[in-house]
Chains A and B, each alone.
Chain A
Amino acid sequence: MASKNQLARLTLSVLSATALLATAACGSSSGAAGASASASTDEWSKTGPINYVQGKDTSGYVQGILDKWNALHPDQKVTLVELSESADEQRAAMIKNAESKGASNYDVLSVDVVWTAEFAANGYLAQLPSSLDTSGYLKAAVDSGTYFNKLYAFPSTSDGALLYYRKDLLDAAGLQVPKTWSDMKAACAKIKTTNPSIDCYGGQFQKYEGLTCNFAEMVNSAGGQFLSSDGKPTVNTPQAVAGVQWAVDAFKDGTIPKAALTWKEEESRKAFQDGNLVFLRNWPYVYTLAQKTDGSSKVAGKFGVAPIPGLNGPGVSTLGGHNMGISKYSQNKGTALAFLKWYNSPENQKSNTLANSSAPTWTALYTDPELTSKFAYLPVLKASIDNAQARPKAVKYGDVTLAIQDAAYNALNGTAAPKAAMDDLQTKLQALVK
């Protein structure tokens, strides 16, 4: 197979009359990733300077913690490589690094939970040594870094959806925080009698990864599932379709404003902060910003957080977050592993949470008094994450999420009936997830 392949390439190269090409073609010869996927033990003892790669260091926290490490380990310095904030661009840069056999010199990578399967299967990430202890970390987060029962990425941060609600309006109407979608609708109907211009519920329904998260919550919160326990697609079950149907109806009757079809996190946050929404589904980051009293938020001090609602009871959040992996092409895996352990140690998780209001993966931090007094939402978030459902673990996750977004978008804007959209998605997923 391999030789036939190279022969074909060589023939083409000659046709192109470029001697250079012959070398180029040989650069990507065939071979199984399996052979070299697990690094040998002495590879894990090599030390030296490394690069840590992630999205933007938004608060400047990461550089600070790296300075700390570098002071402790002057001969194993870690340099921060900041990529774009866009997840797609981060993923593309990491793939490029791997496909050029580590040309970018990325050593430790901060990978989104949904990339684990792709990165592990393609041999972009080294399988972490089994000696690594993950007890004490959130089980869902550890599971998100695992592929075929092997750990490829260490839990670093987690994320779960929260329901932000207008406490003032609910109190004024004498209402409880809704646990189901129909409760929520009823609450809105009552609030609208005194606030006719306010919209009921908002989320992230623009066509991007956020739609996958929101849509998955609709399906999961109605008792449906994307994949069965043995990994087969089950998206056109009556439960799943019921969840989609609710979302479609909500758009039709105005429970969710039409504008939400253009919303990402920021646009939906703005709508809530401007006082145009009673309920908002969003990540924990909104909490700090919506509490700002500089005039940018009209709802400061007037809102609360709760777990997201579902069809017949509490809803199921989509699991988010980032894990830390080590590039297969890293030259200093020993340092990389030591840094990975140190970076995610309980005390550093705590300082990270304080600086970035991110969701920690060290379970005990959710009951840490210092943190809970600063971030009142932490217990709710813990409940959300404990109950959360991961997005499908697929090697071709990019195709899977696009198929989900297509189905969701077509259903939500009325191009396709919910059942038809989900049947179509079922067919596509069956081809993609094997």
Chain B
Amino acid sequence: MAVTTAERTAPVATKRKKNAFSDGQGALAAMLLAPTMLVLLLVAGIPIIMSVTESFFRTNDRIDPQTGLVQTGTNFVGFQNFTDIFAHPATVVGVYGSMDRLVNSFINTTLFTVVCVILETVLGVSMALIMAKAFRGRGLVRASILVPWAIPTIVSAMMWKLIFNTSGVANKVLGLTNNPILWLADNKYSQISIIVADVWKTAPFIGLLTLAGLQTIPAEVYEAARVDGANAWQTFVRITLPMVKPALVVAVLFRTLDTLRMFDLPYGMIGANKYSVETLSMFAYQETMQTRYGPAAAYSIILFFYIVLVAFLFVKLLGADVVGDEELKAVNAQRKRMKALHQQQAKAAGRVRTNVTSGSAAS
């Protein structure tokens, strides 16, 4: 199959010859990418295929009444692992009242992602702005900002557990020793403690990426803005934000994808089976712990599609330039132009939407 596509595209490639290595690129590319693709096939590809297969099976659990032994092996159940989510909900009581456990963990995942990523972005950007303005001691700040990020998650989970202990220092600082908040129980406060710990760990990372973006903005742009009499807010909204957007959007996208899969922090800090902080990853993991590999795989696949959807929306709505390939972009742009042309032809009076994406801004 690969050969035929190569043959089909070969003439096109020679026509658009533009760089030094135009000959035999397919073979060379295959050679250079082979190690990466092999590793990914081994540790992601095969397990994912095994997972997908697993999601159509279910482990036997019938017990022989004479010996008490469980029949081993698995049964093919088709899509039942997926449909059972709605057909036989496992009702649990979390923060949002009683509902299916999967739905509950889905809401938690979404809530954590939205709240954490927004807080991280706001905090991160503020940090970057402060650091960019700094005159002295920037090295110190930059170093200290990397500390939360360098601490292993498992250690930071233990650390926050110690801090948020009912008789711990968080309640002491807040003056609540007599009427303590139960941060580590299974309630809305546990959600807050998770958010605090996650934002602490990752806001600096966004700050750093934004700072990197800020430093590429040429000073004369700001000069020009000042000459034109722009105030600080206008400068921030009209210049700084658009200029750091490509870097920021990619950083936020990566953080979003990470947060959607959040596992270690709630698992280490609050623990398993706590519905107020149970994320989809944790739920799927708990199911594998109960040796229900089929349903666990089904939930992982649902989470995977959710993540893909979010990534897709990011790229579409915010113009996240993840791929960053000129060639692909050119093809897509061509496709868009054709589509726009058709639309314009369809609508007599069509408004032209000017959409400055990161791609066009960069080149």
Seen from chain A, the residues whose Cβ lies within 8 Å of a Cβ on chain B are: 1-2, 4-5, 8-9, 12-13, 16, 18, 20-21, 24-25, 28-34, 37, 88, 91-92, 95, 99, 117, 120-123, 147-148, 206-208, 258-259, 261-263, 267, 270-271, 274, 395-396, 398-399, 402, 405-406, 409-410, 413, 415-416, 434
Given that A4-B76, A5-B75, A21-B53 are contacting pairs, would A120 and B273 also be in contact in the complex, using a CB cutoff of 8 Å? no
Interface string of B44-83 (1 = CB under 8 A from A): 0010011011001100110110011111111110000000
Given that A206-B185, A207-B271 are contacting pairs, would A406 and B73 also be in contact in the complex, using a CB cutoff of 8 Å? no
* Chain A residues, CB < 8 A from B67: 34, 37, 148
* Between-chain CB contacts (< 8 Å), 9 pairs: A24-B53, A32-B64, A122-B69, A122-B72, A123-B72, A395-B61, A395-B63, A396-B61, A406-B92
Among B52, B165, B180, B186, the residue within 8 A (CB) of A207 is B186
* Chain B residues, CB < 8 A from A16: 49, 52-53
* Chain A residues, CB < 8 A from B70: 33, 121-123, 395
* Chain B residues, CB < 8 A from A148: 67-68
* Chain A residues, CB < 8 A from B187: 413
A267→B165 contact, CB < 8 A: yes
Given that A13-B53, A267-B165 are contacting pairs, would A147 and B68 also be in contact in the complex, using a CB cutoff of 8 Å? yes
A30→B166 contact, CB < 8 A: no
The 7 closest A-B pairs by CB, nearest first: A30-B73, A148-B68, A8-B76, A259-B166, A34-B69, A121-B70, A398-B290
Q: Cα distance A257–B64 when bound, in Å?
A: 46
Q: Chain B contact residues: over half helix, strand or loop, or mixed? A: loop
B129 at interface, CB cutoff 8 A: no
B73→A29 contact, CB < 8 A: yes
Given that A37-B69, A208-B271, A398-B290 are contacting pairs, would A261 and B185 also be in contact in the complex, using a CB cutoff of 8 Å? yes
B274 at interface, CB cutoff 8 A: yes
Seen from chain B, the residues whose Cβ lies within 8 Å of a Cβ on chain A are: 46, 49-50, 52-53, 56-57, 60-61, 63-64, 67-76, 92-93, 165-167, 180, 182-187, 271-274, 289-291
A262→B185 contact, CB < 8 A: yes
Among B64, B76, B167, B272, the residue within 8 A (CB) of A9 is B76
A398→B180 contact, CB < 8 A: no
* Chain B residues, CB < 8 A from A405: 273
Given contacts A24-B53, A259-B167, 9 further A-B contacts (CB under 8 A): A8-B76, A9-B53, A21-B49, A206-B271, A208-B272, A261-B185, A262-B185, A413-B187, A416-B93
Distance to closest chain B CB from A352 (angstroms): 29
Given that A32-B72, A208-B271 are contacting pairs, would A12 and B93 also be in contact in the complex, using a CB cutoff of 8 Å? no
Given that A16-B49, A30-B72, A123-B72 are contacting pairs, would A9 and B63 also be in contact in the complex, using a CB cutoff of 8 Å? no
Distance to closest chain A CB from B69 (angstroms): 4
A271→B167 contact, CB < 8 A: yes
Among A12, A123, A207, A274, the residue within 8 A (CB) of B273 is A207
* Chain A residues, CB < 8 A from B166: 259, 262-263, 267
A12→B72 contact, CB < 8 A: no
B165→A406 contact, CB < 8 A: no
Q: Cα distance A267–B241 when bound, in Å?
A: 47
Distance to closest chain A CB from B197 (angstroms): 16
* Chain A residues, CB < 8 A from B64: 32, 34
Distance to closest chain A CB from B114 (angstroms): 25
Distance to closest chain B CB from A278 (angstroms): 17
Given that A399-B290, A409-B186 are contacting pairs, would A32 and B71 also be in contact in the complex, using a CB cutoff of 8 Å? yes
Distance to closest chain A CB from B338 (angstroms): 33
Q: Cα distance A25–B53 when bound, in Å?
A: 9
Q: Cα distance A120–B96 when bound, in Å?
A: 39
* Chain B residues, CB < 8 A from A271: 167
Distance to closest chain A CB from B232 (angstroms): 45
B272→A88 contact, CB < 8 A: yes
Q: Cα distance A186–B99 when bound, in Å?
A: 41
Among A8, A91, A121, the residue within 8 A (CB) of B63 is A121
A434→B63 contact, CB < 8 A: yes
Q: Write the chain B residue with the least CB distance to A11.
A: B76
* Chain B residues, CB < 8 A from A262: 165-166, 182-185
* Chain A residues, CB < 8 A from B165: 262, 267
* Chain B residues, CB < 8 A from A24: 50, 53
Among A12, A30, A263, A409, the residue within 8 A (CB) of B74 is A30
Q: Write the chain A residue with the least CB distance to B74.
A: A28
B68→A18 contact, CB < 8 A: no
A410→B63 contact, CB < 8 A: no
* Chain A residues, CB < 8 A from B182: 258-259, 261-262
Q: Cα distance A267–B166 when bound, in Å?
A: 9
* Chain A residues, CB < 8 A from B50: 21, 24
A28→B63 contact, CB < 8 A: no
Distance to closest chain A CB from B77 (angstroms): 9
Among A18, A37, A267, the residue within 8 A (CB) of B49 is A18
Q: Cα distance A168–B103 when bound, in Å?
A: 52
* Chain A residues, CB < 8 A from B49: 16, 18, 21
* Chain B residues, CB < 8 A from A398: 289-290
* Chain B residues, CB < 8 A from A270: 167
Given that A24-B50, A406-B93 are contacting pairs, would A31 and B72 also be in contact in the complex, using a CB cutoff of 8 Å? yes
* Chain A residues, CB < 8 A from B46: 18, 20
- A25, A28, A91, A147 pick with most chain B CB within 10 angstroms: A28
Distance to closest chain A CB from B168 (angstroms): 10
Q: Cα distance A398–B291 when bound, in Å?
A: 10
Among B68, B76, B167, B272, the residue within 8 A (CB) of A5 is B76
Q: Cα distance A50–B319 when bound, in Å?
A: 59
* Chain A residues, CB < 8 A from B183: 262
* Chain B residues, CB < 8 A from A409: 186
Distance to closest chain B CB from A75 (angstroms): 34
Distance to closest chain B CB from A371 (angstroms): 34
A5→B74 contact, CB < 8 A: yes
* Chain A residues, CB < 8 A from B272: 88, 208
A32→B273 contact, CB < 8 A: no
Distance to closest chain B CB from A287 (angstroms): 22
* Chain B residues, CB < 8 A from A33: 69-72
Distance to closest chain A CB from B2 (angstroms): 13
Given that A29-B73, A31-B73, A123-B72 are contacting pairs, would A259 and B180 also be in contact in the complex, using a CB cutoff of 8 Å? yes
* Chain A residues, CB < 8 A from B93: 406, 410, 415-416
A123→B69 contact, CB < 8 A: yes
Q: Cα distance A30–B184 when bound, in Å?
A: 43
